[in-house]
Amino acid sequence: MAVLIGTDVDFEKTLETSEKVIVKYFADWCGSCKLIALKFKRLSNDEQFAGITFLEVNAEENEVARKMANVDNLPYFATFKNGTLSNGSATSKEEVIVTMLNGLK
């Protein structure tokens, strides 16, 4: 599955229409955000995570989406299940992201 780009305009709709969502919050100036981007894309194509929507949100440009996950540092990852925040972590470690994804299964 491809990584979708989310904005405040469509963020809540994505949470309503997708049962399981992981969001990567980033900023254009964030070097760690750029480094984890390829790993996030690779994970989105992993069959074991089929059924999970992968979403990227620019935290600086999308205040509503950022506040819904209580983003306090970047990169920040949040999982939502049935539209409700279930987990959030400021990390650039792939194993933490995998643990979060496994929590959505």
Could you give the number of structural domains in the chain?
Answer: 1
Nearest Cα residue to 43 out of 69, 23, 18:
23
The residues, any chain, with a CB within 8 Å of residue 2's CB and separated by 6 or more, are: 44, 54
Return the active site residues: 30, 33
pLDDT value of position 33:
97
Q: How far apart are CA 67 and CA 101, in angstroms?
A: 21
Pairing state between β 20-26 and 76-81: antiparallel
Q: What is the pLDDT along the chain (105 residues), one digit of tens a residue?
A: 789 999 999 999 999 999 999 999 999 999 999 999 999 999 999 999 999 999 999 999 999 999 999 999 999 999 999 999 999 999 999 999 999 999 998
Confidence at residue 105, expressed as pLDDT on a 0 to 100 scale: 87
CATH number at residue 77: 3.40.30.10
Domain encompassing residue 35? 4-104
